[in-house]
Structure 1
Amino acid sequence: MNSQSISVVIAGGGTAGHIEPALAVGEALATEHGARITALGTEKGLERDIVPARGVDLRMITPVPIPRKPNADLAKLPFKIIKAVAQTRKVLKDVHADAVFGTGGYVAAPAYLAAKSLGIPFYVLETNALAGIANKLGVKLGGIGLNATAGSGMPGEVVGIPVRPSLAVDREGAAALAARAKWNLTAEKPVILVTGGSQGAASINAAVEGAIADLTQDFQVLHAYGKKNAAPAAHDGYTALPYIEDMAGALAVADLVICRSGAMTVAEVSAAHLPAIYIPLPHGNGEQALNSRHLVDAGAAVQIADADLSPELLVHHVREILEDPIRLDAMRTAVASNSAGDVARTIARRIAEQITAAEASAEKDV
Structure 2
Amino acid sequence: MPVHASPSGPSVVLAGGGTAGHISPLLAIARAVVRREPAAKIVAVGTASGMETRLVPEAGFELATIDRVPLPRRPSIDLVRLPRRLAGAVRQATEVLEQADADVLVGVGGYVCTPMYIAARRRGTPIVIHEANTRAGLANRVGALFTEQVGKAFPETKLRHARLVGMPMRREVSQLDRDAERTAARRGLGLDPERPTLVVTGGSSGALSINRTLAEAVEALSRAGIQTLHITGRGKGLMDDDGVPLAAEGYHQVEYVDGMELAYAAADLLVCRAGAGTVCEVAAVGLPAVFVPLPIGNGEQALNARGLVEAGAALLVRDSDFTPAWLEREVLPLVADPVRLKEMAARARALGVRDADDAMAEMVMEAAQA
Same fold at TM > 0.5: yes
Q: Which amino acid aligns with 2:82?
A: L
1:266 to 268, 276, 279: 279
The answer as to whether partners of 1:216 and 1:238 remain within 8 angstroms in 2 is: yes
The 3-state SS of whatever aligns with 2:246 is: coil
SS in 1 for 2:70: coil
**How far 1:334 moved relative to its partner?**
0.5
Q: Residue 216 of structure 1 aligns to a residue in which SS?
A: helix
Partner of 1:153: 158
Deviation beyond 4 Å, 4+ runs, structure 1: 172-176
**CA RMSD across the alignment:** 2.2
Distance across 2 between alignment mates of 1:142 and 1:118:
14
2:325 corresponds to:
312
What SS does the aligned partner of 1:154 have? coil
Q: Distance in 2 between matches of 1:72 and 1:5?
A: 45
Give the number of aligned pairs: 355
User: What stretches of structure 1 of length at least 5 have no aligned partner?
Assistant: 359-366
Residue by residue over 1:303-335, the C-alpha shift from the partner in whole angstroms, topping out at 9 and shown as x without a partner, is 001121112212322223211122111101100
Could you tell me how far apart the structure 2 residues matched to 1:280 and 1:190 are?
Answer: 24
Work out whether residues 124 and 146 of structure 1, in 8 Å CA contact, stay in contact via their aligned partners in 2: yes
Aligned pair partner of 2:288 in 267, 275, 289: 275
> In structure 2, which of residues 223, 226, 240 is the aligned counterpart of residue 219 of structure 1?
226
In structure 2, list runs of 5 or more residues that go unmatched: 1-6, 240-244
The answer to whether the aligner puts 1:16 opposite 2:28 as a matched pair is: no
**One-letter identity of the residue aligned with 2:18:** G
Of 132, 147, 150, which residue of structure 2 is paired with 1:127? 132
User: For the structure 1 residues 97 and 203, does the alpha-carbon distance in structure 2 shift closer, same or farther, using more than 3 Å as the test?
Assistant: same
Kept after mapping to 1: 8 A contact 2:126/2:367: no
Structure 1, 295-304 or 264-273: larger mean CA deviation? 264-273
Aligned-partner SS, 1:221:
strand
2:51 is matched by which residue type in structure 1?
L
Change (3 A) 1:110 1:143: farther
For residues 255 and 79 of structure 2, the distance between their equivalents in structure 1, rounded to whole angstroms, comes to 34
Contact 1:42 1:62 in 2 (8 A): yes
User: Aligned partners of 2:238, 2:80: CA distance in 1, in Å?
Assistant: 39
Which residue does the alignment assign to 1:210?
A: 216
In structure 1, distance between residues paired with 2:270 and 2:98: 43
After superposition, give the CA deviation of every residue in 1:270-323 in whole Å (9 maximum; x if it has no partner). 111100000111222211101110101100000001121112212322223211
**Which digits, 9 at most, give the CA deviation of each residue in 1:238-288, with x for residues without a partner?**
332333221122222122111111111101121111000001112222111
User: Match of 1:225, as an amino acid?
Assistant: T
What does residue 92 of structure 1 align with?
A: 97
Q: Which amino acid aligns with 1:33?
A: E
Q: Pick closer, same or farther for the CA change 1:176–1:28 going to 2, 3 Å.
A: farther
- Paired residues for 1:1-366 under 5 Å: 4-34=8-38, 35-142=40-147, 144-155=149-160, 156-167=162-173, 168-171=175-178, 177=184, 179-217=185-223, 218-227=225-234, 229-232=236-239, 233-236=245-248, 237-356=250-369, 358=370
Deviation at 1:106, TM superposition (A): 2.1
Q: 1:164 to 1:154 in 2, by over 3 A?
A: same
Range moving further from structure 2, 19-28 or 36-45: 36-45
Greater mean deviation of Cα atoms: 28-37 or 226-235? 226-235
Task: Quote the Cα distance in structure 2 between the aligned partners of 1:239 and 1:58.
Answer: 36
What is the deviation of 1:9? 1.3
* C-alpha distance in 1 between matches for 2:194 and 2:102: 51
TM-score by length of 2: 0.89
Specify the SS of the correspondent of 1:13: coil
SS of 1:292 mapped into structure 2: helix
Superposed CA deviations along residues 25-75 of structure 1, whole A, max 9, x for unmatched, are 111001222222211122322212222222221222211222334444333
Deviations 1:107-149 (A, max 9, x none): 2212212211211111121111111111111112346322222
TM-score, L = length of structure 1: 0.90
Summarize the Cα distance change of 1:346–1:191 in structure 2 as closer, same or farther, 3 Å threshold. same
Percent identical pairs in the alignment equals 40
